[in-house]
């Protein structure tokens, strides 16, 4: 009953086996291994982008921060939702790797920017005034931090605003696989066909040991990314272990199968929560992240029985009125089982 984060799940057996298989003998370093050649070809094929530049790093923070660094200058902005991961959870890494570019925060319900809120923030940035930061890039998160998902149409609407102002677009796709499964759109439709210039394509949250791909749809930015990755200490020497993970992840649609399991378990959990007296879903749960709320007494019972999840905000005092409603964030992963979900639902119904 572990719903704290999909980061906390183990490694999918197929991916672990691929890392083990890559271990014997010798392989060229720094991404020149033959498996990486196959990864590049697979990602280009998957995204219908034969000219795309493809690189691997070990963390989502590196993928996001290095991607943004090739899109903006230090005196420019990155427009993102005020709940975006790059704003709340990366310890200033985007600002550090961009050399000081300013995150400008955009409003919108359920952690989703709208064309109107984005346009208003861009328009409010003074252009050509030496005393202020200049317009830089737009960063969109899909799946969002509140569990909502942008459709391809919604992405095109946002990138259309960015294009009006001549701004490039980054997509934080730490849970990109879950968004693809949730929308039924193709990887290309949720990225470059919707106006995305650089994609952080996540693997770690979806069954990998630790690997993220940066997909740069305009290869003219590729050399700068290579230099920044090296200078930023994110170029792995024993790169074959990153390559092996991503290669297995993409083989026979494993990445979609893993995300499909996570989303299916979230659907089961969401349906069950809807039947719990006093419980409510507080944000759209489009993929594998659910925000819900229920009385403190049921939280106390579930946590005491071994359930793990985050209460919102933070961890409220366990002592207090039993009927006080407290929020929670529940995240399912590829390894979540029906038994996990059903046992948890029984606990918060007070039946176990």
User: For the chain, which domains are there?
Assistant: 12-254 (3.40.640.10), 259-348 (3.90.1150.10)
Q: What is the pLDDT of residues 122-172, one digit of tens each?
A: 999 988 899 999 999 999 999 999 999 999 999 999 999 999 999 999 999
**Sites in the chain below the pLDDT cut of 50:** none
| pLDDT one-digit tens code per residue, 309-349 | 999 877 677 678 888 999 999 999 999 999 999 999 999 98
Q: What is the pLDDT of residue 313?
A: 74
Tokens linked to 156? 């095109």
pLDDT of residue 135: 98
Rounded to the nearest integer, the mean pLDDT of the chain is 96
How many angstroms from the chain centroid is the CA of residue 318? Answer: 31
The answer to whether 55 and 223 have CB atoms below 8 angstroms apart is: no
Q: How big is the chain, counted in residues?
A: 352
Q: Which residue has the tokens 């074959």?
A: 240
Report d(CA 23, CA 39) in Å as an integer.
Answer: 17
Cβ–Cβ contacts within 10 Å for residue 293, how many? 17
Q: 160-175, pLDDT tens digit by residue?
A: 999 999 999 999 999 9
């Amino acid at each position: 009953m572990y719903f704290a984060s999909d980061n906390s799940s183990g490694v999918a057996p197929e991916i672990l086996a691929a890392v083990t298989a890559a271990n014997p003998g010798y392989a060229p370093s720094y991404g020149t291994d033959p498996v990486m050649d196959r990864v590049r070809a697979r990602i280009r094929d998957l995204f219908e982008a034969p000219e795309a530049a493809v690189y691997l790093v070990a963390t989502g923070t590196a993928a996001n921060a290095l991607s943004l660094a090739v899109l903006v200058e230090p005196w420019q902005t990155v427009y993102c939702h005020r709940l975006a991961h790059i704003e709340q959870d990366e310890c200033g890494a985007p600002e550090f790797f961009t050399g000081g570019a300013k995150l400008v925060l955009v409003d919108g319900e359920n952690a989703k920017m709208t064309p109107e809120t984005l346009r208003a923030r861009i328009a409010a940035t003074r252009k050509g005034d030496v005393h202020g930061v200049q317009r830089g890039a737009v960063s969109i998160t899909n799946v969002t931090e509140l569990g909502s998902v942008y459709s391809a149409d919604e992405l095109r609407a946002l990138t259309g605003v960015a294009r009006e102002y001549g701004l490039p677009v980054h997509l934080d796709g730490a849970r990109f696989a879950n968004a693809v499964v949730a929308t039924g759109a193709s990887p290309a439709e949720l990225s470059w066909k919707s106006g995305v210039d650089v994609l952080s394509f996540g693997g770690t949250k979806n069954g990998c040991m630790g690997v993220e791909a940066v997909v740069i749809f305009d290869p003219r930015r590729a050399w700068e990314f290579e230099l920044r990755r090296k200078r930023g200490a994110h170029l792995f020497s024993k790169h074959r272990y990153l390559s092996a993970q991503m290669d297995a992840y993409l083989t026979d649609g494993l990445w979609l199968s893993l995300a499909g399991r996570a989303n299916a378990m979230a659907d089961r959990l969401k349906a069950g929560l809807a039947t719990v007296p006093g419980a409510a879903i507080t944000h759209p749960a489009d993929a594998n992240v659910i925000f819900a709320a229920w009385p403190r007494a049921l939280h106390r019972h579930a946590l005491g029985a071994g359930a793990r999840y985050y209460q919102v905000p933070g961890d409220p005092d366990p002592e207090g009125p039993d009927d006080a409603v407290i929020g929670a964030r529940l995240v399912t992963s590829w390894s979540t089982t029906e038994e996990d979900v059903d046992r948890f639902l029984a606990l918060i119904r007070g039946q176990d």
